[in-house]
Amino acid sequence: LGLSMPFYIIGAFALLGTVASRFILPETKAVRGHASSMNWRYLVSGHIGTIAIANLFFIAGCYGIYSIIGFHVQDRFVLAPQEAAQMMGLGLMSAAASNVVAQALVIRRFKLSPRVLLLAAAPMVLVAFAVLAVTENKGLYFASMALNGFGQGLAGPAFAAALSLSVGAGEQGRIAGVSSSLQAMAFLIGPFSAAALYQYHPPIVFIIGCVLVFASLPVFLTVARRAAAGHENLN
């Protein structure tokens, strides 16, 4: 099967997930009598919209890098397509493993605030992008991918918590929908623009990724502090 094998494996896992959900997940009952208390205009206004934009910048920059990492590895290390795919896969595995460590161990144990999490995450991601852009050492490549995954593992819950603190208990479902929509938008914008820019000038993808991550930091820190303060006042 060669390079097409991952697609068959992903399809098999998707099929297993579908079958499992049919027999394992409980039937969801419709909830009635809940009045609509928050419209779309309110969702994108004020500090909610600002946090959402900062989140979009951050994940669009990260998804853009991920979308071209296979081409970058092949060009940077002068590899055949199959070798590049293997190296990229191992790099993504290291990123995923460190992401799990960040979310399952660090965040659950230390209970850090969104501001502290992003203050730690953003520099990690920026350093990882910079190393990925210039390194020709395979060890540094894997280390930077792991660092990137760890940073994103801290940043994701930081943005989610900041959005959650921005609304009341009855609006958590809608704000979760906003968070999911942002990821979908970033997955559309990041790879599309990164692929086009990589053909023009490969380093510019990493530069723009760093700019987007850095731009999200001051906006998020300011607004998240206000959102947390407002939440404390309500309590």
Per-residue pLDDT tens over the stretch 192-218: 899 889 988 999 999 999 999 998 888
Nearest alpha-carbon partner for 223 in 162, 136, 138: 162
Q: Using DSSP, state whether 30 is helix, strand or coil.
A: coil
The structure tokens listed for 209 are 């990724």
Q: Does residue 40 have a pLDDT over 70?
A: no
pTM above threshold 0.75: yes
All domains in the chain, ordered by first residue: 41-234 (1.20.1250.20)
Q: Does residue 234 have a pLDDT over 80?
A: no
Helix, strand, coil percentages in the chain from 3-state DSSP, rounded to 5: 85, 0, 15
What integer pLDDT is reported at residue 116 of this predicted model? 86
Q: Does residue 34 have a pLDDT over 80?
A: no
CB contact at 8 A, 31 and 162? no
* 132 or 6, which is more confident: 132
What's the angle, vertex CA 136, arms to CA 132 and CA 139, rounded to 5?
75
The structure tokens listed for 147 are 């660092």
Q: Does residue 58 have a pLDDT over 60?
A: yes
11 burial type by CB count under 10 A (0-12 exposed, 13-18 middle, 19+ buried):
exposed
Rounded to an integer, the average pLDDT of 45-61 is 82
* 156 or 163, which is more confident: 156
Question: Between 46-77 and 203-234, two packed helices, what is the crossing angle to 10 degrees?
Answer: 150
Distance CA 100, CA 30 (A): 33
Q: Using DSSP, state whether 150 is helix, strand or coil.
A: helix
What backbone phi and psi angles, to 5 degrees, belong to 3? -70, -15
CB contact at 8 A, 43 and 175? yes
Q: Does residue 232 have a pLDDT over 60?
A: no
DSSP letter at 166? T
Per-residue pLDDT band for 1 (boundaries 50, 70, 90) equals: low
Percent of the chain with pLDDT over 70: 83
Distance CA 88, CA 166 (A): 38
Rounded to an integer, the average pLDDT of 90-117 is 90
Rounded to an integer, the average pLDDT of 21-49 is 62
Alpha-carbon Rg for the chain in angstroms: 20
Distance CA 94, CA 144 (A): 9
What integer pLDDT is reported at residue 48 of this predicted model? 76
Q: Does residue 126 have a pLDDT over 60?
A: yes
CB contact at 8 A, 126 and 206? no
Q: Does residue 94 have a pLDDT over 90?
A: yes
Per-residue pLDDT band for 233 (boundaries 50, 70, 90) equals: very low
* 173 or 96, which is more confident: 96
